[in-house]
Homo-oligomer: A and B are copies of this chain.
């Protein structure tokens, strides 16, 4: 029953604003986005409309304009796209790729402590190795 909610990169920009503000109007979104990307107001309106159409946002009329609110939670949506990514790459390479990401991003001390805890627990049941699953069937000699 996983929502197949597909949010495109352009739409994602809009969602971030709505997620952060909790509720907002199209005007506010347009103003904020103009500091970041070069989109015409009509473009943002289109994105808002598509997001409403796909059930990511709700609108309620408020006088002349509409109030937009997220219908999907930010964290679970982020988790979903992250899962999609890590499920689409070679299973053998997941660890290496994660390591690269951890190396690149900014993490708070609390973030790091939590990751350390998660890893510690994971180590107990971790397999010796993780096989490449890129070529299904056959026991092809994997180059990895």
How many copies of the polypeptide does the oligomer hold? 2
**A83 contacts B95, CB within 8 Å?**
no
The main secondary structure of chain A at its interface with chain B is: helix
Interface residues of A in 115-144 (CB under 8 A from B): 115-116, 118-120, 122-123, 126-130, 132, 134-138, 140, 142-144
Cα A19 to Cα B82 in complex, Å, equals 22
**B96 contacts A75, CB within 8 Å?**
yes
Interface string of A66-81 (1 = CB under 8 A from B): 0000000011001101
**A126 contacts B144, CB within 8 Å?**
no
Taking Cβ atoms with an 8 Å cutoff, the residues of A that contact B are 9, 12, 16-17, 19-22, 32, 35-36, 74-75, 78-79, 81-83, 85-86, 88-91, 93-116, 118-120, 122-123, 126-130, 132, 134-138, 140, 142-144
